[in-house]
Amino acid sequence: MLREFENYLLLELNRSSHTVEAYTLDLTQFEQWLTGPATEATTADIRAWLGSLAPAESPRTLRRKAQSLRAYYRWLLKKGLVNHNPAADLTLAKAPKRLPEFVKELEIEEIVNTYDPSDFISLRAHIVMLILYSTGLRQEELRTLTDADIDFSLGEAKVTGKRAKQRVVPLPPELLGEIARWQKVRDSRYPDLESPKPLICGRKGHISKKTLYNIVNNSLASSSAMKKSPHVLRHTFATSMLNGGAALDSVKEFLGHSSLSTTQIYTHLSFNELKKAYNAAHPRAAEKS
């Protein structure tokens, strides 16, 4: 049953593999907790399950688990396997909005510029950090990027994002040069990669999620950022763009957000620009000479 639901999410709703994986894990946990079949579960059962998880899980995680169940029972209802959705009327507390973590500009610049070009592992970490910081790509977008997606003549990359949506991201000349040099080293190390060649690779082709995460985590070990994940570099890119004067709409397109409201979470981070504007415009901002 769950496998059929997975295919429905992937093929009909076009959900990302990450979302499908999370939903499947939630539903598996719920079914293991139940004493009877999921088709006979009640709203009280779901509340009891979420209540049992509350001491150990964050409000955000609990909300996602509830969403997983809502989606699953909507599908069961559509197939005629249940006659109502027991998760439809759940009311959960709103998850607190957390400010995005980002790496300070001086720190990230030092990190991407400190590497050993003669060492393959060091060079791979360098190109991973440089691309994520320079483009704001999601971890999975970089992991699945291939040589065929990069157009050196136009200076751009075709990126496949969530729900298979594609967008074009400009690549500056310096980054293109770094990518070209990396490809030569990669091809020397792994001459038998199948085409289209994954841009960032390991021995067996596309680099794994775990390896990519570890590369970023280790690279950010010396930074002051609390979180040290690939997504932090996406936040860092967005923050740098806005602090540099980029329009919110432009940052939205770079990040591949479907809604401007998603991008607006970064606007409060450009406080330096806000402070400059205040000092320049308000008569009480600075002392008269």
Enumerate the active-site residues: 138, 162, 231, 234, 257, 266
Q: How far apart are CA 73 and CA 86, in angstroms?
A: 7
Q: What is the rounded CA–CA span in Å between residue 237 and residue 130?
A: 11
Cα separation of 232 and 119, whole Å? 25
Rounded distance, CA 220 to CA 208, Å?
19
Annotate 150-207 with DSSP letters as a single string: EETTTTEEEEE-GGG-EEEEE--HHHHHHHHHHHHHHHHH-TTPPSSPBSSEETTEEP
Residue 49 in contact with residue 33, Cβ under 8 Å?
yes
Contacts of 190 (CB under 8 A, 6+ apart): 201, 203
Answer whether 198's CB lies under 8 Å from 205's CB: yes
Burial of 103 per CB tally in 10 Å (0-12, 13-18, 19+): buried
Vertex 73 angle, CA 69 and 75, to 5°: 120
**Taking a C-beta distance cutoff of 8 angstroms, is the pair 242, 251 a contact?**
yes
Read off the tokens for 100: 């995005």
Q: What is the spatial distance between Cα 47 and Cα 71, in angstroms, rounded to a whole number?
A: 16
